[in-house]
Every structure is written in structure tokens, then in C-alpha cells.
Structure 1
Amino acid sequence: MFANYNDLTVGNFFDNQLRKRPNDVIQIFEDGQRQTYAQLNNRANRLANGLLRLGIKKGDFVALYAMNCLEYTELELACARIGSVIVLMNCYLPKEKIVDVLKITEIKTLVYEDQYNDIIEFCKTKVKMPDHLIVIKRDKFEQGKGVIDYNDLIQSSPDRKPHVKVLASDPYMMLFTTGTTGEPKGVLKSMAGIYFHALSNNFYSDYTTAAQRMNAAPYSKIRHMIVPPLFHIGPRVYPLYCFMMDRSMVIMRKFEPEKFLWLIDHEKINGVWIQPAMMFRIKQLSEKSLTKYDCSSVVSVIGGGGAIKLVEMEEMLKFFPNATFASNYGCTEAGSTAIVSGDELRRTNEKNLGRPSLCADLKIGDEEGNELPKGQEGRIWITCPGLPINCEYYRNPEKTRESFKDGWVFVGDLGYQDDQGYTYYTGREIDFIKSGGEKISPLSIQSVLLTMSEIAAAEVIGVPDVQWGEAVKAIVILKKNSSITAKEVIAYCRGKLAKYEVPKSVEFVDNFPVGPTGKVLRKELKEIYSEPK
């Protein structure tokens, strides 16, 4: 099965687990639906044969447009069986951006949930549609002419394994950068490029304790919770964990704080991925809800895709007392490329992204990628086996030239490195505030604000200002039953920050706008407060 590198395919990894544990559960939906390896194999084989019957060939693009659901794994395995490329569409994009995605790809078949029927009809008026439309029915609705029912296609197809020669180096998956600052950019990955991402995460996550409790081999019998949308690069590790190892996963449709805690308790989750914004929403629950659920099964907490503040990490560990913490640094273009443990963050500082993970490398360079001396701030350049095929954005030469240089990619982050090999994050190139000739990082200001006992969360942006060009503005969420004035916040910052870093204004809000992964949408904050003062 694994005679050489190109035999290391997703299908072969899955078959290896299928032989060992056909009746073990591989995936669970939040409503209690369960699927064993054998059941998933049956449906994926039928789906693969159904796609072949429609004329889908190796290398053809098959898109999925859906919220988190069991069908993600079914279609991923089906495409892996026949060598077609699964295209994961961001279901939270506005309909005009969906049109853009359809324009830049050559999708042969589009699988979509029925809740997006109106958007599909809109797209039909704007762009040439794929040859086949397949609908996943959730509610009763009138099925359009020529639209294929997903379950009907599965039931009408044979369950034998398709015989298509698939290689680990073949194109496998297309994802898209979020598109919140411009048009979505396609990132085409090989099969090996995707499972590099999974292996990088796995080797640096501590699941040994959980395995020992279950009298199992290290890294086995682990149950993961999938919270972020499955069309993003981050959660792509979990299906692959289950294909490659003795694991299972619980899939949330979307993040809901109390349901998240209930699932941890009910399904005895061992590993969770969580963003600070999600933790903030959990803390807003009533005391009764917070103490109602047993979270002791969680042994590994992974924090978001970049630098995390110490106070945020400590809050997570207080809530999950049996867990170790790690924060990984990555992006759609490269996957997971660096990781830092909680102990390392405490020893150094909260800007630490860690050291490069498996087979990856990071350097600090100038605009052309030329490496800069240790300690000097510059662009964070990344290289790893998980970069897109041909190191490019799909059919986007202009953006490719801006971001890719000689096998390295720059995705907008700035930082510096020390002599121990750690990379430190100083901010997004587009987020730096330019005030009175000074270049100001929001991160150091946010860190000071979070040391105030009354403040639960804080963001810092630059807003247009006649005198300074941009003025520093703090946007703050207070803790329950806390009260403080803008003047008190500004006074607290004096002496703890450079004079030009002290906020000129403070806004109190109940929440921040967040994206589907829980990250704060800073672009929206800047738009809200963009009127010159």
C-alpha cells in the first residue's frame, strides 16, 4: 500500500484505518448523528462512483458550498478516491464574491446546501455555471430543473471502491483566502501539501495524557471538536487526523457557547481549537451554565492562527485545567508553520509565534525577501511543503508577484527574530497606525489595556485625524458589572506607553464584529469609526 512516496494518499491512509477499525465512529455531528469508518466508506465510494457517472475525471474541480456538516468528509474522501479536486467555498462570503469564485475556477460540479438556493439562482444570472448542480436537502423546497439530489446520487450508485490511480503529488484541494480585504484568492494544494499541515499540528500537540487515561497508544483514541468553518485551512487537520490515525471528531455547525460546553461534556472531547473572541462569549454565560458542564476531558487547547495575549491564554487554561496550551501560526497559503507552547510564551513574551514546525522555515526579510539581521523588524516570509502548487495564487499573476518570491510567501505579517530561533509578531502591515510621523503597533497598546481589571477585551485602531493623520483609538468591552470612563482608561495608559501610543479616544461597546473563525474584523471596526474628527 505504501511502497513509495506517491502511495501516501488520503485514500490509502483511510483504507489502512478502515481495515483496523471498520465499526469505530469517525465523525459525529452536533445533533448526535454518528458515522463509522465503514459507513463513511460506503457513502464516499457511492458518491465517488456517482461523480464518475456524471463524467467527472481526475483533476476536475468539484466544489462544496455549505456550512459545517458530515458531507464535508464524505465529499473529501470521494474526491480523494477519484483524484478530483475538492474546492471549498466560503459560505459566509456575499453573493457577489461567490460569483468571483465561480469566475476564477473551472468547477465541473457544485454541491450545495439548499439554504443557498437563492444565491445559486443569482449566480446563474452572472456567470457560466458548473455542468452539474447537486443539492444537499435540509428543508423541503422545490428542486430546480436539472438539479441532482445528493442522497439520490449516493443511493443510485454502487458501493465498490473506484479504481483510479491517485498520487500524493496530485492536485487535491482548493481553498480561498478570506477575501475580506479584496477578491478571494484561490490556493490550490497537493494532497501531500494538505497532510503536511496535519502532521505539523499533530507532532506539537500534547495528547499523550489523554491516550494514557484510555490505556491507548500515544496520540490514539483522541476525540477532537471542530468549531471553525471547514472551508478554512485550520480545521482541515481534523479529517486527516481521522483518516491517518485512530481518532474521531465532533462537528459543530457553528459556534454556540453553551452547546460547545455541552458537547465537550457529553462527547468527552480531548482537543479543542479556540479563539479569544470565542472564550469571551463563553465567559458571558451565566454562572449556572459555566459550572454545569464537565470540561476535564480536554487535554489540549490550540489557540488561533497567530500571536495570543498571555492573559487570554491564562483564561483558557483556567477554564480547561487539565489542558496544555499551544498557539500555532499559519495561513491559508502555507498551513501551520510555527508553534509555541504556553511555557515558552511565559518565558519569552506574548508576541512569540514560536519556532518553525515540521519541514517549515520562517525568515524576516525586506520587500524582496532579502533576509534581515536578527532583531530587526521586517516582513515574515514563510516556506514549507504546504505551499500552493507552483507557489502561486490560482490564475492571479498580479497577486502572486506581490506575495511569492523564490519559494517563499509573505501574507502581510511583520515581525523580528531572536538568536534562539523564535519569531515575534509585531502586527499586520496594513494595521499599523501612522500618527504624527510615528509608526505604532496596536498590539502593545492592547496588552496594556488588558491589564486593567475592568476590561474584558480591547482592540486598537487608527482613525482619520486632521492634526495627526491618524489618531489612536481604543475600543473596549468591559467585564460584567464593571464601570470606567474614557478619561480613566487614557490616564491608566500614560506612563505605561510612549506618549504617542496613548489612546486619544476610547469607545465602549458590547461586542466586536467577528468573522466565522472568531477573529475580530478590524477592517469593519475601522469603517465604523472612519469619520474624521
Structure 2
Amino acid sequence: MFNLAVILRESAQAAPAKPAIRHPGGAITYAELDELSDSVAEGLATLGVRPGQAVGLQLPNIPQFVVSYFGILKVGAVVVPLSPLLKAREVAYSLRGSDARALITYEAAAKEAALGAEDAGVKDVFVVGAPARDTRPFTELPVPVTGRRPLAAREGSDTAAIVFTSGTTGLPKGAELTHFQLYMNADIPGRLFDVRPEDVVLTILPLFHVFGLSSILDVCVRFGCTLSLVPRFDAEAALTAIERDRATIFEGVPTMFVALLEHPGLDAFDLSSLRVAISGGAPIPAHVMDAFERRFGVLILEGYGLTETAATTTFNVSAEERRAYSVGKPIWGTETQIWDEHGNRLPPGREHIGELVTRGFHVMKGYYRRPEATAEVMTGGWLHTGDLGYEDDDGFFFIVDRKKELIIRGGYNVYPREVEEVLYTHPAVAEAAVIGVPDARLGEEVVAFVTLHPDASATPEELTAFCRDRMASYKYPRSVEVRGTLPKLPNGKIAKLELKPSR
């Protein structure tokens, strides 16, 4: 028997009075979190939720997310984390795609959530805050429990969560992550970057995304440290929380690092408590990494993973062992290789770019009720990540780009990230995204979209010339568009699928 919720039970027994959560409204101790989640588990059981059934969890980074997460696990049900930004059609798609039995949502999302739940045939919808039509307030869900509620008996191979992919390359698919897999992806990475009980982790990555769920929430509770919850990303809110809660660890995606660096009031905050930063979700541009480390005086440890690997696949573990600009080495108990299009392992070297494949305890059971989709990404136990990269002679991995984002211009391969890296070296460029668009003569053409630093200026012609002077003629963008903002996914990544040239 193994239930992932044991990480909370153990930490509550070890340090009951320690703050598990700090948030703008106060703090919740480990004993209180254990008790509150027991009550949610009892409420779900009273509702008729049984082990193995799925429950949607559609909340921002507020205490009720953490309470509900462990309550769902404790009753033996499967957590289905969902973005509060989803519209009714998307909610229905996710609830149907996970066979959800109930949904816990947020007042700002309640109207769309209720419509989606109705479409999917989910009758039990609980709302944190003001309920919408055909929903109930979340306060009606918890049922008081005397003493500790026993954890439902689950096997390590049972599904603990169905996490939908971000949909950057098509319709989202629900990856089944097990109790054992999520535990190992908390325990191993937490040991690798030396998480300590006294750590306070800024929790600004959305907990409904696998990075926040596995690499922050599970890691924190496994090692008994404190979550500093910020409901949604905003540079001002992040800096305020670091200062207020004396955060020691900041984990984010590259756009968040850029936003903190760009905040006009940065110098006014006391950020001396930070000891390390962790970047993931997308490759961090070298220019951003260097600027952040200089300005904040902390090391950025970059890792790599995806929903299908419960967040972590490779990691740079320390200042002594990291290789800057790489995503590190495979975590303990896993293997990662570079394969060519025929399934042959490629030798080390920048000239041997291929697809990253990986296998081990971190790889999902599969996509829920999608055997054909699962078979498409699995070969003999190896998961095809869809990411292109290479390995150096010392076993460090470097990400070049997404396989599906590769641009083939006139027969030449153009890696968008390489073009983006050049754009980031221009002093006026704050963010950059490069895509391929259809071209009658060349097959595809290279197009770039950028935002600029405050008070900076640059023309499209200037940026095109800047790239042309620094890369091969087939690589540089023939079109550059300067925009006020770039579209983002809920996890903070740039939403390239939404980028369309204006002409």
C-alpha cells in the first residue's frame, strides 16, 4: 500500500506547529493542513467519491488548492488539476477526458465551470467563494473528523493525478501519474537541490501545472518546508512575497525571470533571503540567466522535464556540478538519450542534434484512455519527448528546440531557439519568439515577434539587420514584429500557437 498523501501525514507528525503555508491572509500549520484535508476527504467520501474516481481541482494558488489536493488523495481519488482560465468547452473536455466525478472550482471561474460540468454530466460542483448557478459553496464540502482519518489504501502503481498537457502542439492529453512516480519526483529532485525544512519556497508557478504541482507542492510537503503562496504571477506580488515571507527558493519559467528583472521598483525590495533559483518549463535564454544571477546574486539551476515525466527528467544539481546553459544530467534512477529519426542513439557533440528520449520511474503510465496517443510517444519503454537537443562529452544535455517547432527553410533546418538567443542579445529586446510560416517558394519562412524593455526602442528593420549580421543567411528572420505583449499560456510560457503575422 502506498498513498502519496503520506508525505503530508509524516510532515505533520514531525513538525505539527511548523507553517506549511504562508499566504497574504496568514499561515496554516502542518497540523492544521492535515486536519483540514482530512475533512475534505471525509466530505468527498460522504458525497460518494470512491478510490480511483477522478475529481477536478480548478483553483489558483490559494490554501484551498493544497487542502483539496491532499483531501482528494486521502480518499483515494485521482486529482485532475485544471486552470481557472478555462472556458466551458475546455472544462467539459477535461472533465470528460478524465471521467471526473466532481469538481472544485473558484468563484472567478464558476460560471464557465458550471456550464462545462453540466455539459460533461458532472453534477457535484463546489466553489471557493461565491457560487454560480447549480453549484454549491466549498464550505459545504468538508466534514469534521475526530482524530486522524486513515489514508485510503492505494498501490504505488495506482494513478494519483491526471495532468493534462499544455496543448502547445495540439489538443491536451491527460497524462496518468502514479503515487510512486510523484513521490519519487518529489524525493529525488528535492535531495538533488538540497531542500531543507527551513526553506520557504515562493509558490508563484501555478499549482495546476505539473511544474508547480510536482516540483514545488510535493517537494515542499515531502521535506516539511513552507509554501509562500502567490495566487497569480505578477512581478510586484512575487517580490512582495519574497520580502514578506523571507523566501529562500524561487522557481519559475523564463518569462518570470524576465519580469522580475524588468520591475521598475526592484531596488526597493529586500531579497537577501534568496539562496537559489530554479528555472524550467522552457529553456532560459543565456542572456536572461546571466543578468538575473548578476542582479540577484543567486545561482540559477536549470532543469528539464514535461508533464509526461511528472516534471523532472534532468537537472543541474549544484554550483559545483552544474554546466551553465545546459539542463543538467538525468536524475537518479532514469535514463535519457539522444536518438536520430531511425531510433539510433547519437554520439555526444553539438553536431549530433536529435530527439531526447527517456525512460525510468518518472515516465507516465500513459495518456488516460488514449492508447493510440500513448503508443505514438512510446518505443520499448522509451518516451519520445518531442524535444531536440544534444549531449556533451560529460553527459550534460542541452535543449535546442521543440521537434514540432523546427523550421525547414529551403531545405535547411532552422532552430527557433537559436534565433531567439540572438534576439535576446539585442539591448532593446525583452522577450522573443520565433515561428515558421508557410512560404510558397521556400516551404517555410522565419518570422520573429519581440517585446522591448521599458523606454527602449528598436525598429523591425534594425532587428532584422542585427540578426543578419550574426547568423547564417538562411537563419535570420525576414520579418520581425514589435508588440506590446506576447501571448502566454497559464504556466507562463509564450503561446507560440497564438502568434500570427499581422501581414
Cα distance, 1:61 vs. partner?
1.4
Q: Residue type matched to 1:459 in 2? A: A
Q: Which residue of 2 aligns with 1:17?
A: 11
Change (3 A) 1:505 1:180: closer
Q: After superposition, what is the alpha-carbon deviation per residue over 1:507-526, rounded to whole angstroms, capped at 9, x for unaligned?
A: 2222211112221111112x
Secondary structure in 2 matching 1:511 = coil
CA contact (8 A) 1:310 1:346 kept: no
Q: Write the distance in 2 (CA, Å) between the matches of 1:307 and 1:278.
A: 12
In structure 2, the residue matched to 1:279 is 257
Per the alignment, residue 306 of structure 2 pairs with 331
Q: Deviations over 1:250-285 (max 9, x none)?
A: 111100111110110011000011223223323443
- Conserved 8 A contact 2:13-2:31: no
Q: Does the aligned pair in 1 maintain the 2:114–2:132 contact within 8 Å? A: no
For the pair shown, the structure with the greater C-alpha radius of gyration is 1
Superposed counterparts of 1:94-173, under 5 Å:
94-124=87-117, 126-130=119-123, 132-136=124-128, 138-139=129-130, 141=131, 144=134, 147-155=135-143, 158=146, 160-162=148-150, 164-173=152-161
- Of 94-103 and 116-125, the range deviating more from structure 2: 116-125
The answer on whether the counterparts of 1:464 and 1:530 sit within 8 Å (CA) in structure 2 is: no
Deviations 1:294-352 (A, max 9, x none): 0110111001224222211112212321x22201100000020101368689966x3x2
Q: Aligned runs of 1:188-227 on 2, under 5 Å?
A: 188-206=176-194, 219-227=196-204
- 1:442-453 equivalences under 5 Å are 442-453=416-427
Q: Deviations over 1:180-225 (max 9, x none)?
A: 4322211111111012222232133255xxxxxxxxxxx2210001
Residue 89 (1) aligns with residue 82 (2): yes
**Aligned 8 A contact 1:472 1:505 in 2:** yes
Instruction: Please list every run of 5 or more consecutive structure 2 residues that lacks an aligned counterpart in the other structure.
Output: none
| Cα contact 1:206–1:324 (8 A) shared by 2 | no
Q: Aligned letter for 2:210?
A: I
Task: Confirm or deny: 8 A CA contact 2:84 2:106 kept in the other structure.
Answer: no
Q: Which amino acid aligns with 1:381?
A: V
Letter paired with 1:119? E
Tell me the SS of whatever aligns to 1:434.
strand
Quote the offset at 1:159 in angstroms: 5.3
1:529 aligns to 2:501 (yes or no): yes
Cα displacement (A) at 1:247: 0.5
2:163 maps to 1:175: yes
> What residue number does 1:229 align with?
206
SS at match of 2:141: helix
> Which residue matches 1:36?
29
Post-superposition Cα deviations, 1:350-391, rounded to whole Å, max 9, x if no partner, equal 3x22211121211112446442333422211111212222xx
Percent sequence identity is 27
On the 8 A contact 2:210/2:307 being kept in 1, the answer is yes
- Residue among 45, 50, 58 paired with 1:57: 50
Cα 1:55–1:206 change in 2 (3 A) is: closer
Deviates more, 1:37-46 or 1:494-503: 494-503
Give the alignment partner of residue 497 of structure 1, picking from 463, 471, 476.
471
- Could you say what the CA RMSD is over the residues aligned between the two structures, in angstroms? 2.4
Distance 1:530 1:37, change over 3 A: same
**Alpha carbons of 1:156 and 1:205: their partners in 2 closer, same or farther (altered >3 Å)?**
closer
Deviation at 1:530, TM superposition (A): 7.1
Contact 1:57 1:84 in 2 (8 A): yes
Write the letter of the residue equivalent to 1:387.
Answer: V
Equivalent residue for 2:234?
Answer: 256
Task: Provide the secondary structure at the position in 2 that maps to 1:477.
Answer: strand
1: CA distance, partners of 2:39 / 2:435:
51
User: Residue 292 of structure 2 aligns with which residue?
Assistant: 316
Q: In the aligned structure 1, how far is the partner of 2:151 from the partner of 2:320? A: 48
Gapped runs of 5+ residues in structure 1? 1-5, 208-218
C-alpha change, 1:75 and 1:474, in structure 2 (3 Å) is: same
Indicate conservation of the 8 Å contact 1:337/1:384, yes or no: no
TM-score by length of 2: 0.92
How many residue pairs align between the two structures? Answer: 499
Deviation at 1:226, TM superposition (A): 0.9
Tell me, yes or no, if the aligned pair for 1:46 and 1:158 is still in contact at 8 Å: no
Contact 2:299 2:319 in 1 (8 A): no
Q: Partners in 1 of 2:266 and 2:185 — Cα distance?
A: 33
Q: CA separation in 2, counterparts of 1:306 and 1:76?
A: 26
Tell whether the 8 Å contact from 2:22 to 2:245 is kept in structure 1 after alignment: no
Q: Structure 1 residues 354 and 530, CA, compared in 2 at 3 Å: closer, same or farther?
A: farther
